[in-house]
Structure 1
Amino acid sequence: MGVISVLFPEGSKRELLQKVPPSEPDFFVDLGLDQIVNTLTASREEEYRLRVFFFLPLQDIEAIRYRQEVMRDLENENLAESIRTFSQGMHAVRTQLALSKKLYYKHNKEGWFLEAVATYCETVEKLVHSLSSSAIQSHGLCAFREYLLRYIRSSRFVTLKEATEKLRHDLADVEYCLIIDGGRVKVRRYEQEADYSKEIEKTFAKFRQDAAKDYRIQYPQRVEMNHVEAKIAELVARLFPEVFSSLEAYCAENADFLDETVATFDREIQFYLAYLEYIAPLRRKGLQFCYPEVSDTCKDICAHETFDLALAYRLMSEGKTVVTNDFFLQGKERVFVVSGPNQGGKTTFARTFGQLHYLASLGCPVPGKAARLFLFDRIFTHFEREEDIKNLHGKLEDDLVRMHTILTQATSKSIIIINEIFNSTTLHDALLLSREIMERILQLDALCVWVTFVVELASLSDRIVSMVSTVSPDNPSVRTYKILRKPADGLAFALLIAEKYRLTRDQIKERIKP
C-alpha cells in the first residue's frame, strides 16, 4: 500500500505536488484569496509549506467530498486538540533530529537522535489512542487510523520501540565518578561510594522557604556539550564500551525511522487545522459557514448569507459589522451584471462569488448559511490595473488584449469575473465593446460576474441577471452594501441624489417660483 493521504484520495493529484509544485494562481490578488492564504498559513509555512496545497483546486467531486468529510471530523474540538498535541510532538522530533545533525560532538549527536526516536514513538502511540477513542466518520481519517493500528503492531515499530527503551535504560544505568584535581579531570566507574548530596539536601531542607520568591537568574538549558563535557563523555564511553557501541549501531540502523505516512499526515492535516482556526473567530462573531453542494454538471447555483472572507476577517479585527448577501442562478441564467453606485459593494460581491467557488474546490467550508456551487475548470479575472509605463499599449488596448486572452482560453466550465472594464473610453464605445464580449461569454455558456457602469448590459439577454448595489432609502449617500436581484436603473439612484439635495424638477420649480 502507498502513502495514505488525508488530502488526496487515491488516484487524485497528490503526485503533481511532488513533480511540479503549483504557484499562486493569477486571480488570487484580484479575489483577495492571497490575503486569506497568507494569513492562515503564516504561522505554519516555514515548517509545513502549506501554501502549495491552497494553489491546487480539485476537479473531482469525490475528492472534494473526501476533504469535506475530514474537515467535518476536525470540527470536533477534542479530536482537533489531540491532533495539535500530535503535531507538537512531531515538532519536537524534528527539533531533536535537527540538533543531532548540527551538533559537533559524536555522543552529543547520538544522544539527541535517541531522544528524537523516543519522542516519536510516544507521540505516535498517543495519537493512536486519541483516534481510537474518537467518533471518526471520514474515509481519510478512518483509513489513516487503520494504518496506524497496523503500524504500531508491526515488527518495524515494535522493534524500534523496544530497542529505544532498552538503550535509554542501559544509558540511565551508567554510573561513574569524576575526580577533579586542579585542572585535571579523571573518570572512573562508580564503586558504591557514599552519596553525600542527599545528606546535604536533607540537612538544609528545614531552611527551605517554598513561598519565597526565587531571585536566581534562570539560564536556558544548553543542548550542546562544551569541549570538557565532550571529553568526559568520551572517557565514559571507554569505560562502558558495550552500551555506547550499541548506541552507535542503533543510530546507524534507524536513520530512516520516521514513517512516511505519519510524516505526510503531520503536514497535510495542517491544511484543515489552519483553515478551521482562521474561520473560528468569525464563527464566534455569529457568521455562518457551510459545506456547499458542488456539481460539475449543473449550473443552478446559489448562496445564502454569504460574504467576502478576506474583508470579513479585516472588519472583524476592526470591530465592524459584516454585511451578508444572497445570490442564485437557475435554468438558463449564466451571468450576473452588477451595477449601482460606487463604493456600494459591487466589487466585494464579485470577489465573494470567486472566493466561494475556489474555496469549495479546495473542499473547505465556505462563508454562508447554505450554498450550491459549480466545479469550474479555471477562473479568469479582469480587474482594473495600474498602467505599466513599460507597456506600450494604451489602457483600452490593454483591456482588449487581456479579454482576448481570457476568451480564447475559457471553456463552458470556466468562471469569468470582470470588474469595471473600459472605463478609459466613451460610454458609446464601452457599450459597443461590452456587447461583443458579452455575446462571446454567452456563446461559451460560462458562468460570469460582470461589475459595470454600462447598465444596458443587464437587459441584453434573458440569460443575464441584474444585481444592483443599494443605498438607504432615507439617505442615498449611505450605502447598505446589500446587492439585490433587481432591474438595473441608473436613473433611480440619480433621482435619490436629486431628492436629497432638492434638485428634482418639481423642487427646483418650487424654489424659483416668484
Structure 2
Amino acid sequence: MTFPSVLYPPNSKYTVDENAETPDCFVDLNLDQVIDAISDRKQEYNLKPIFYSPLQEIEVIKYRQDVFKDLENANVLKAIKVFAEKMVLVRRYLNMIEKLYFKYHQEGRFLEAVMIYYEAVKDLARDLEEAPLKSRGLVEFLEYINEYIISPGFLSLQTDSLACKADLSTIQYSVIIKGNWVRVRKYESEIDYSKEVERTFDKFKQGEVKNYRIDLIVSSGMNHIEAQILDCVAKLYPDIFKQLDSYYLKHSGFLDNIILTFDRQIQFFVSYLDFIENLKSKGLEFCYPNVTKDKAIHAKDTFDIALANKRSFESIPVVCNNFYLEGKERIFVVSGPNQGGKTTFARMFGQLHYLASIGCPIPGTEATLFHYDRIFTHFEKEEDIRNLRGKLQDDLVRIHGILETATSDSIIIMNEIFTSTTLQDAIFLSKEIIQRIIRLDALVVCVSFIDELSVMGEQTVSMVSTVVPENPTQRTFKILRLPADDLSYAICIAEKHHLTYNLIKERILQ
C-alpha cells in the first residue's frame, strides 16, 4: 500500500512546492508575523512552503480540516508529539554519525538510531489504533503504518536490531592500566573492588558540605585511546563485531520515505495547533469555516490573529467582531474615527480567508467564507524615490495593476488610498475604482474616510468603527454595520490633548 500525503488526498494534483515564495499580501495582512511565529519553533521541518501555498480545491481544504479535528483529540496529539520527539533523536544520532571518526562508534550510534526508530513507529501505530480517528488522512496513514510494521523489511530490521543489541550486551572485558601501558582482555570474574573502596573510605565522610565539584562537558565523541580500546575488544569478540558490521551495511537505508514525509507534514498541523492554543487559553475561540464558492459569507466573534498573538503577551483583551454579506452585497466600506480598528478589521478579513484557504481553523465561533483565487492588498506605502513617482501616481499605478489582474473570484483589500490628494480628487478617483470593482463582482474591503462610497449601490455595505457615546475619544474597537455618520472626531482628540484653539490661546496668554 502507498500513502500519498497527510496534506493532500489520494489522486490529488498537489505536492509541496519547496520553492514557494511569501505571498504578496502577507506583509499588509501581518500574516508574515503569524507564520514566522509558527514556523520558527519548527525550523528543521521547513514548514513555510506549506503555509505559503493556498489550496485551489475545496475538497483538499476539507481534507485538512478533518485532520485538524482528529488532532484536537489530546491522545492523538500526544501520540504524534511523542513520535516526533523520537524522530528528532533518530535524526540527531544519524547526523552525529557523520561527525564521528571511529568505525565501531559510528556503528553503535547507528544501532541506537534504528532501535529508537522502530520503537517510534510501532508505538505510533499502537496509539493511533486505539484512537477514534475519523479523518481520511490519518485513517489511511494508519492503514499504511499497520502494513509497514508487518512487512518483511521492517520485521527484519527489528529482529536484527534486537539480536545485535543482545549480543553486544553480553560483552564483558577488563582494562588494565599500568603507566603508559594499557592491556585489554576478557573479563575473568575478577573481584570488583569499587564497593570495597567505598566502604573503606566511608568512615571519613562528614556532614553535608558545599560541593565544589563542577560538571565537565561530556563529549559524544570518542578519543583515540578509547577507540583503540574498542578495537581491542573487537578482536576479543570478532564474531559479534562482524555481525555489527553486516548489520550496518544491510540496514543503511532503513528510513521509510513515507514515514519521513509524514513526520514533516504532520508538523504543519501540530505547529498551528500549538500556536493557537496560547490564544485559546486567553478565552479566544476558533472554528472550522464552511468554504464555498457562494459570496454570501459571514463570521462571528472573529479577530485579527496577529494582533491577538501580540496582545496575549501583553495581557490586553482582544475585541471580537462580526460581519456578513448577503444577496448582491460585495463591498464593505469601513469608515469612522482614526485608531478605531478599521485597518484591523480589513486585515482580519484577509487573514480569515487566507487561513481558511490552507485548511486551518480560523478565529471565531462560526464562519462561512469565500473560496477565492487570489488576495490583493493596497495599503499605504512610503514613497520610493527610485521609481520617480509621487505618492498619488504610485497609488494609481498599484491599483491599476490590481484591477487588471483581479477576477470575480478575487478578494481586494484597500486601506486609506488617495490620502495624498485633495478631497474632491480622492472622491472622484475612489468612486471610479468602486464602479470598476462593482462590475468585476469581486469581494472587497475598502477602508476610507469618504462616506459617499458606502451608498454607491446595493453591492456596498457601510461598516463603522464606533466610540463610547458618553466619551467620543474612547474607541470601542467594535465595527458595526451602520450608515456612515459623516462625523469628525478631530475636535475630541484635540480636546483630549489640550490642543483646541481656545486652550492653546489661553496658554500663550499665560
In structure 1, which of residues 482, 487, 509 is the aligned counterpart of residue 483 of structure 2?
Answer: 487
| Partner in structure 2 of residue 354 of structure 1 | 350
| Partner in structure 2 of residue 512 of structure 1 | none
Shift of 1:181: 2.1
Shift of 1:339: 0.8
Cα deviations by residue, 1:463-491 (Å, 9 ceiling, x for unpaired): 11111111111111111111111111213
Counterpart of 2:440 in structure 1: which amino acid? L
Q: Residues of 1 paired with 2:187 and 2:217: CA distance? A: 30
Shift of 1:43: 1.4
Counterpart of 1:332 in structure 2: which amino acid? K
| Partner in structure 2 of residue 321 of structure 1 | 317
Cα deviations by residue, 1:303-359 (Å, 9 ceiling, x for unpaired): 011110110111121111111111000011111011111111100000000000001
| Partner in structure 2 of residue 184 of structure 1 | 181
TM-score relative to the length of structure 2: 0.92
| Partner in structure 2 of residue 43 of structure 1 | 41
Shift of 1:193: 3.1
In structure 1, which of residues 235, 238, 244 is the aligned counterpart of residue 235 of structure 2?
Answer: 238
Shift of 1:13: 5.1
Q: Residues of 2 paired with 1:210 and 1:373: CA distance? A: 71
Shift of 1:428: 1.1
Contact 1:66 1:139 in 2 (8 A): yes
Matched, 1:30 2:20: no
Q: Residues of 2 paired with 1:208 and 1:358: CA distance? A: 68
Counterpart of 1:450 in structure 2: which amino acid? C
Shift of 1:299: 0.5
Shift of 1:197: 3.6
Shift of 1:11: 3.2
> CA 1:298 to 1:152, structure 2 compared with 1: closer, same or farther past 3 Å?
same
| Partner in structure 2 of residue 509 of structure 1 | none
| Partner in structure 2 of residue 511 of structure 1 | none
| Partner in structure 2 of residue 175 of structure 1 | 172
| Partner in structure 2 of residue 504 of structure 1 | none
| Partner in structure 2 of residue 82 of structure 1 | 79
Unaligned runs of 5+ residues in structure 1 are: 502-514
Q: Residues of 1 paired with 2:210 and 2:165: CA distance? A: 36
Contact 2:287 2:363 in 1 (8 A): yes
Contact 1:340 1:468 in 2 (8 A): yes
Q: Residues of 2 paired with 1:367 and 1:210: CA distance? A: 60
Secondary structure at the aligned position of 1:338 is classed as strand
> CA 1:32 to 1:171, structure 2 compared with 1: closer, same or farther past 3 Å?
same
Secondary structure at the aligned position of 1:167 is classed as helix
Q: Residues of 1 paired with 2:208 and 2:304: CA distance? A: 54
| Partner in structure 1 of residue 428 of structure 2 | 432
Shift of 1:215: 5.8
Q: Residues of 2 paired with 1:406 and 1:177: CA distance? A: 78
| Partner in structure 2 of residue 447 of structure 1 | 443
Shift of 1:211: 9.2
Cα deviations by residue, 1:405-434 (Å, 9 ceiling, x for unpaired): 111111111100000111111111111111
- Choose 334-343 or 76-85, whichever is displaced more: 76-85
Shift of 1:220: 4.0
Matched, 1:17 2:17: yes
Contact 2:2 2:144 in 1 (8 A): no
Shift of 1:173: 1.1
Counterparts of 1:158-173 in structure 2, within 5 Å, are 158-173=155-170
In structure 2, which of residues 136, 140, 153 is the aligned counterpart of residue 139 of structure 1?
Answer: 136
Counterpart of 2:411 in structure 1: which amino acid? I
Identity of aligned residues (%): 53
> CA 1:498 to 1:462, structure 2 compared with 1: closer, same or farther past 3 Å?
farther
Q: Residues of 2 paired with 1:158 and 1:34: CA distance? A: 45
In structure 2, which of residues 389, 395, 400 is the aligned counterpart of residue 404 of structure 1?
Answer: 400
Q: Residues of 1 paired with 2:253 and 2:209: CA distance? A: 49
| Partner in structure 2 of residue 8 of structure 1 | 8
Matched, 1:223 2:220: yes
Q: Residues of 2 paired with 1:262 and 1:6: CA distance? A: 11
Kindly report the root-mean-square deviation, in angstroms, between the aligned alpha carbons of the 2 structures.
2.3
Counterparts of 1:97-176 in structure 2, within 5 Å, are 97-176=94-173
Counterpart of 1:42 in structure 2: which amino acid? D
> CA 1:498 to 1:37, structure 2 compared with 1: closer, same or farther past 3 Å?
closer
Q: Residues of 2 paired with 1:354 and 1:125: CA distance? A: 42
Q: Residues of 2 paired with 1:72 and 1:186: CA distance? A: 62
> CA 1:395 to 1:500, structure 2 compared with 1: closer, same or farther past 3 Å?
closer
> CA 1:180 to 1:499, structure 2 compared with 1: closer, same or farther past 3 Å?
closer
- Choose 465-474 or 2-11, whichever is displaced more: 2-11
Contact 1:339 1:346 in 2 (8 A): yes
Contact 1:469 1:482 in 2 (8 A): yes
Contact 1:9 1:63 in 2 (8 A): yes
Shift of 1:449: 0.4
Secondary structure at the aligned position of 1:180 is classed as strand
Contact 1:475 1:500 in 2 (8 A): no
Shift of 1:446: 0.6
Q: Residues of 1 paired with 2:290 and 2:16: CA distance? A: 26
Contact 1:3 1:260 in 2 (8 A): no
Q: Residues of 2 paired with 1:462 and 1:208: CA distance? A: 91
Q: Residues of 2 paired with 1:214 and 1:133: CA distance? A: 49
| Partner in structure 1 of residue 506 of structure 2 | none
Shift of 1:275: 1.0
Contact 1:67 1:364 in 2 (8 A): yes
Shift of 1:289: 0.8
Counterparts of 1:465-484 in structure 2, within 5 Å, are 465-484=461-480
Q: Residues of 2 paired with 1:494 and 1:307: CA distance? A: 27
Counterpart of 2:339 in structure 1: which amino acid? Q
Cα deviations by residue, 1:229-270 (Å, 9 ceiling, x for unpaired): 011111222222222222122112211111111111111111
Secondary structure at the aligned position of 2:435 is classed as helix
Contact 1:4 1:143 in 2 (8 A): no
Q: Residues of 2 paired with 1:458 and 1:415: CA distance? A: 18
Counterpart of 1:149 in structure 2: which amino acid? N
Contact 1:7 1:268 in 2 (8 A): yes
Secondary structure at the aligned position of 1:371 is classed as strand
Q: Residues of 1 paired with 2:438 and 2:207: CA distance? A: 80
Q: Residues of 2 paired with 1:157 and 1:477: CA distance? A: 69
Q: How many residues align?
A: 497
Q: Residues of 2 paired with 1:201 and 1:359: CA distance? A: 64
Secondary structure at the aligned position of 2:487 is classed as helix
Matched, 1:382 2:378: yes
Contact 1:121 1:161 in 2 (8 A): yes
Q: Residues of 2 paired with 1:499 and 1:466: CA distance? A: 28
| Partner in structure 1 of residue 502 of structure 2 | none
